[in-house]
Amino acid sequence: MIVSALLTSVGINTALCVMFFALYSILRKQPSNYEVYVPRLLAEGTSKRRSRFNLERLIPSTGWVAKAWRLSEEELLSLSGLDGVVFMRMITFSLKMFTFAGIIGILVLLPVNCWGDQLKSIDVADFVSNSLDVFTISNVNSGSRWLWVHFSAVYIVTGFICIQLFYFNLWKYFCLTASAISIVIHELTVEIFTHISIVLIFNDAKKLYKTVTQLRSDPTQQKHRRSFSSGLFGRKNSVIEHYEKKLENIEENVRLKQSEASLAGEEARAAFVFFKSRFGAATAVHLQQSVNPTHWITELAPEPSDVYWPFFSESFMRRWISKLVVVFVCILFTILFLIPVVIVQGLTNLSQLEVLFPFLTSILTIKFVSQIVTGYLPSLILQLFLKLVPPAMEFLSSIQGYISHSDIEMSASRKVLWFTIWNVFFATVFSGSILSVLRALLDPKNIPGKLAVAVPAQASFFITYVVTQGWTSVSSELFRVIPFIFSLITRPFTSTDDDFEVPSAPYHKDIPRVLFFGLLGITYFFLAPLILPFLLAYFCLAYIIFRNQFINVYAPKYDTAGKFWPIVHNSMIFSLVLMHIIAVGIFALKKLSLASSLTIPLPLLTLIFNEYCRKRFLPIFVAYSAESLIKKDREDQQNDATMTQFYENLISAYEDPALLPIHYSPDNDSLHTPLISQA
Amino acid sequence: MIVSALLTSVGINTALCVMFFALYSILRKQPSNYEVYVPRLLAEGTSKRRSRFNLERLIPSTGWVAKAWRLSEEELLSLSGLDGVVFMRMITFSLKMFTFAGIIGILVLLPVNCWGDQLKSIDVADFVSNSLDVFTISNVNSGSRWLWVHFSAVYIVTGFICIQLFYFNLWKYFCLTASAISIVIHELTVEIFTHISIVLIFNDAKKLYKTVTQLRSDPTQQKHRRSFSSGLFGRKNSVIEHYEKKLENIEENVRLKQSEASLAGEEARAAFVFFKSRFGAATAVHLQQSVNPTHWITELAPEPSDVYWPFFSESFMRRWISKLVVVFVCILFTILFLIPVVIVQGLTNLSQLEVLFPFLTSILTIKFVSQIVTGYLPSLILQLFLKLVPPAMEFLSSIQGYISHSDIEMSASRKVLWFTIWNVFFATVFSGSILSVLRALLDPKNIPGKLAVAVPAQASFFITYVVTQGWTSVSSELFRVIPFIFSLITRPFTSTDDDFEVPSAPYHKDIPRVLFFGLLGITYFFLAPLILPFLLAYFCLAYIIFRNQFINVYAPKYDTAGKFWPIVHNSMIFSLVLMHIIAVGIFALKKLSLASSLTIPLPLLTLIFNEYCRKRFLPIFVAYSAESLIKKDREDQQNDATMTQFYENLISAYEDPALLPIHYSPDNDSLHTPLISQA
């Protein structure tokens, strides 16, 4: 691709961005669009619908940018929970990383690349003087000593990123262990942290049901439950005492039944079991309960708003089979998706297109059209196809057997990320043919060599990709194209006073996208440093726009305390190792075998660093330590008021929406009633 | 190789076995050899050294065979613990597997192979009519329909082995969950199971030391400790009460200090912490204790006799680095070991040898010599080299950071197994050149094809290998060659009344060997069914001989309750998948591509089966369920007598041999004293 095509693309997208910004500035001030652009403020009552017309409403303004810029991390934490903070930290992390790599890339590597004349000397006839390839490592002469500059850059940037990752992990770690817990408790997730509750899934429903029936027929308890149902409480303390006792009873009964449980269970049912202390709950979660490990499965209960009911009562086997099926479908989906990628790749090759559709020849000879087709259309089409992926992956994750929305979202994030890496990065690099991708992967010895040839060749495609896919996606995120169109269409049929739902941040869509741009930056920074300014522009836009959206649009439905961080960490490590493999190949290709050999320890060191981080930081994402649990338990014991409030919330916290009618008729004998509805 | 060479080898080894059996029958009756052949009975006092001469002592007898044959599983359990039972079950499992495969192989596959004339038609000149290759799949005509017989055999045998594995896992599972626990408790490992004790490794030794000093300066406790040291106990119950209280104190203190622990620990120390219930101990083990997961590491304490002290007080970092270093050294060792393998492979190729050493030509032309050299010498030399591997691997495992002998042994077993598979199987198959092995592995697409060519070609080598390495090793195990020679040499210098140690079974040597023969059997059963009778003979010998050794020689030092079973399971699954890959390659090579494609689902199904087993059975190897722990705790509470006995044992159970002098001077201020020595 030539520079003018890139400039066309940059021009179009800058214009699009400016247009989106201007439109956003105006449209967000129109009361009829409040539901689209400031649903959060509307729900909180901060913004009221003003119907009075105002000239100011028609002039674009930049006040929102300043507001988003000034937002402190504490405010963000209170607005969007730890998830939002970690998401923004991921963007600032990328900004730091690429500012550092950008300084090295633009000031050192780019001049070195331009200085070389490999491309000129090899193929004078085919060489276009303003080709983007002049700025890539391809232009450095083979065996040139200047390649040691690239070698040093690879080592320095890897070291910088690893140190940054370590500090980020450390920050996240202190976040999870110290301040964050208390903040999360008081702000967002009272249920999960104040009394970690346990989901016990067991097969022996009939026996448990008997126990429950016995509890029911007990006249003293019957009385209490009636008082619960009618909402006429006696002294609160006595109710709480009774409640605690009953919880103990249930726990004891569950345990007794458990030891009697027969192996051949006929029906699978689930229950919430509440514990009087976090420590007790953690004990029940981390110990295998029944002798048969597939028989009683304990999991930490999600927050009430986070529970995903469809798989709640499923047995181990069904969830396991669901998972196998979803893995299979995912692989199939990923492979079939290569078809649109192949078509898109065809567009970058005009002559191929002219052969396929001869009637297009006359149009394609117009310079502007051909530049749009080669520079802009391919990645736009790819982008439209990729829009389908996050919802598809979210659907697949939702039938995989998870019992919480947050697990589904994290699983979907992972799927979308690996899908993008496979189908956008590798499929593009290996010219879109599934066979050539597979052939390359099935020949690991030659992977570095093949990558070294194929990756730099696609530099211009990915630079355009950053501009089109990145810039456009982030400004359309601001403009909220689809909700806006949807609101335009439905507006005539809905009254403005209807209830509306404040959306929650679509992390499963945004995290993989940000990480994929991180991967592009890391792998291309020493091959084609020209990508870095465009990436930095993307991350700056993302920084402002996501902060703005957290203020105005998204309200968190639940908070996972940033448990998606391991996905980010793994993606960074993968990007680094991929970059090292490409470096090994490039140095070998450029006939600098010493540099090639000296690069080999780098991926090993990175993997050892990763292994250390897994030991040092990963456990806190899986479970809280006894130390912090006991500390919080003690604090709770001293704080009676919170506990009273908590027990009140507990009564109605977990209610399967499908079972609510049963809950309101306590004498119904249905087996479906989960334990919580007896309390 | 021709049939006569195989027969020579079989002849030599049968003679060797008979000689070993006869010698053993005579020598074991000589009182001077009791220490070598019946150390266990000697130690138990069942056998006394009789000095009176007896003619019967010089006549070989078979009574011991009958005795070994009649041994029931209950007797074996009481003799050698669950480890011995699982080891013998592994052999009976192999016997079952290869009897089934043998019936199919000899009655169905062998005639099919002989019926073909592929080898005759291809290369008449080079074809020796009595070549062993006639009995292999190589002789079946390409594209022949008879290959579907092999295809069916692969499916049937895989199904049979998987079903057997499932039932074996189920048996092991009930073993661990039901009867076995109680047996183990009362017989062997009182400490571990009656009160699961916990090893806490922490860095904050100074603060803990202060706590301990405070405990010391407490006059009431001082008094009690003195009474402990002098052995003059008051009423036992009061001592126990005091003891329990003190344990609580220590636990509480440990927990308090833990929350204050600073991140920058200067010294790493370890302690045993005892709990009043198994359930409590399990809680402490399975929950991450400190906020920093590398700071306090909890592990189940090994049995007192099983503790390996050198790494006991090491910090997480040192143990982690040790592990990394050992992994690196292991890889290096495995690669360097290929040198002797290459030499051995040279021997099977006489012409190559004659080129290298021209002066040997005259000797090698003698038929008998050449048969010995090709048929017997190669695997004998390999065997001698392989003798070095188990001790080397055990040494490597011992510096890897484990704190128990059983962990070291299990880790060494894994290392020896993978070493054997890599260096004997793959190196032999790919003609012993490290480069060709690596080249094959780095080209995964062609692995089935390359294996299909290389594996059947080595059939005769591995048949000989079973005869020489298998038969000889198992009969020299009976004869105990090295201990016998050692005893002959040292006998003049030691008096017969000296203390001697009863050896424990060298599982890290024997398990990989048995499993490797399993791998050979599984991979070769459909390629060269002729291997099966020899394998069956090996397993029959092993069955009798190991039972005999468990009766007479080996006494268990500790019992892991058969926790090495996952190694066996993984090895079987690996063998099956390897066999499937070879089958895919063979059918493709034989131009029966439909069979080749239809074999592909088989490894996938096997891996899914493995995944299910991991979910269903593996957890019990890692931890006991809450259900069984609580059950045992309740039984203990009702059994006061056992507990009293237990507390008495506890006082002196865990003593680091290096620290014993400190233990006996309780006012010594050394930091080295582990917590237990304060109790």
Q: What is the pLDDT of residues B143-163, one digit of tens each?
A: 888 899 999 999 999 999 999
Where does residue A81 fall: left (phi above 0), alpha (psi -120 to 50 degrees), or beta otherwise?
A: left
Cβ-defined contact of A283 to B288 (cutoff 8 Å): no
Q: Residue B413: exposed, middle, or buried by beta-carbon count in 10 A (0-12, 13-18, 19+)? A: buried
Q: Which of A151-155, A186-190, A606-610, B113-117 has the lowest mean pLDDT?
A: A186-190
Q: Which residues of A touch B620 (CB under 8 A)?
A: 288, 291, 293
Phi, then psi, of A396 in degrees rounded to 5: -60, -45
State the Rg of chain A over Cα: 29
- The edge-to-edge listing of strands for the beta sheet with A269-273 is A269-273, A198-202, A297-300
Tell me which of B166, B179, B288 to substitute to probe the interface with A (most A C-beta atoms closer than 10 Å). Answer: B288
Q: Are A154 and A602 in contact (CB under 8 A)?
A: yes
Q: Is B634 on the interface with A (CB under 8 A)?
A: no
Read off the pLDDT of each residue in B407-413 and give the average, rounded to a whole number.
92
Give yes or no for residue B498 having a pLDDT over 50: yes
Q: Residue B15: exposed, middle, or buried by beta-carbon count in 10 A (0-12, 13-18, 19+)? A: exposed
Q: Which residues of A touch B604 (CB under 8 A)?
A: none
Q: Which of A305-319, B210-224, B638-652 has the lowest mean pLDDT?
A: B210-224
pLDDT at residue B182 in the model: 33
d(CA A624, CA A629): 7
What band does B245 get if pLDDT is binned at 50, 70 and 90? low
Q: Are B187 and B82 in contact (CB under 8 A)?
A: no
Q: For A63-87, write each residue's pLDDT tens digit.
A: 888 888 888 888 888 888 888 888 9
SS3 letters across A10-64: HHHHHHHHHHHHHHHHHHCCCHHHHHHHCHHHHHHCCCCCCCCCCHHHHCCCCHH
Where does residue A495 fall: left (phi above 0), alpha (psi -120 to 50 degrees), or beta otherwise?
A: beta
Q: Are B84 and B550 in contact (CB under 8 A)?
A: yes
State the Rg of chain B over Cα: 29
Q: Which residues of A touch B316 (CB under 8 A)?
A: 615
Q: Are A95 and A539 in contact (CB under 8 A)?
A: yes
Q: How many angstroms away from the CA of B30 is the closest CA of chain A?
A: 50
H helix and E strand count, chain A: 37, 3
Q: Are A19 and A478 in contact (CB under 8 A)?
A: no
Q: How many angstroms away from the CA of B556 is the closest CA of chain A?
A: 27
Q: For A549-597, write each residue's pLDDT tens digit.
A: 898 888 888 877 778 889 999 999 999 999 999 999 999 888 888 999 9
Highest-scoring range by mean pLDDT, B82-86, B241-245, B351-355, B363-367: B82-86
d(CA B376, CA B367): 13
Tell me which of B625, B629, B630, B631 to substitute to probe the interface with A (most A C-beta atoms closer than 10 Å). Answer: B625
Which tops the pLDDT comparison, B643 or A459?
Answer: A459
Q: Are A32 and A53 in contact (CB under 8 A)?
A: no
Q: For B158-210, write each residue's pLDDT tens digit.
A: 999 999 999 988 887 777 665 443 323 222 222 222 222 343 333 333 344 44
pLDDT at residue A186 in the model: 26
Q: Are B99 and B539 in contact (CB under 8 A)?
A: no
Q: Is B627 on the interface with A (CB under 8 A)?
A: yes
Q: Residue A558: exposed, middle, or buried by beta-carbon count in 10 A (0-12, 13-18, 19+)? A: buried
Give yes or no for residue A488 having a pLDDT over 60: yes
- The tokens for A281 are 């709950």
For residue A555, give the nearest of A22, A95, A66, A45 by alpha carbon: A45
Q: Is A601 on the interface with B (CB under 8 A)?
A: no
Strand partners of residue A200:
A271, A298
For residue B561, give the nearest of B382, B385, B406 by alpha carbon: B406
For residue A665, give the nearest of A226, A358, A294 by alpha carbon: A226
Which stretch of DSSP H or E encloses residue A273? strand A269-273
**Domain residues of chain A, as ranges?**
3-184+322-348+374-618, 197-300+639-678
Give yes or no for residue A606 having a pLDDT over 90: yes
Q: How many angstroms away from the CA of A566 is the closest CA of chain B?
A: 16
Which tops the pLDDT comparison, B626 or B660?
Answer: B626
Of residues B287, B324, B620, nearest to A282 (C-beta): B287
- The tokens for A231 are 């909402």
**CA B98 remoteness from chain centre:** 20
Q: For B455-492, write each residue's pLDDT tens digit.
A: 888 888 888 888 888 888 888 888 888 888 888 888 77
Q: For B8-64, write each residue's pLDDT tens digit.
A: 888 988 998 888 888 888 888 887 778 788 888 777 776 665 556 666 677 777 788
What band does A50 get if pLDDT is binned at 50, 70 and 90? low
As a whole number of Å, the end-to-end CA separation of chain A is 68
Q: Is A630 on the interface with B (CB under 8 A)?
A: yes
Give yes or no for residue A526 having a pLDDT over 80: yes
Residue of B nearest to A328 (CA): B604
Measuring CA to CA, how many Å separate A271 from each of A214, A284, A300, A678, B616?
17, 14, 12, 11, 21
pTM of the model: 0.78
For residue B262, give the nearest of B208, B212, B299 by alpha carbon: B208
pLDDT at residue A485 in the model: 86
Letter string b/e over residues A125-149, b meaning 16 or more CB atoms within 10 A of that residue's CB: eeeeeebbbbbbbbbbbeebebbeb
Q: Which residues contact B228 (CB under 8 A, 6 or more apart)?
A: B239, B651, B679
Strand partners of residue B270:
B201
The Cα diameter of chain B in Å comes to 97
Of residues A291, A443, A620, nearest to B625 (C-beta): A291
Q: Which residues contact B362 (CB under 8 A, 6 or more apart)?
A: none
Q: Which residues of B touch A612 (CB under 8 A)?
A: 320
Cβ-defined contact of A288 to B626 (cutoff 8 Å): yes
Cβ-defined contact of B284 to A259 (cutoff 8 Å): no
d(CA A550, CA A72): 12
Residue A129 amino acid letter: S
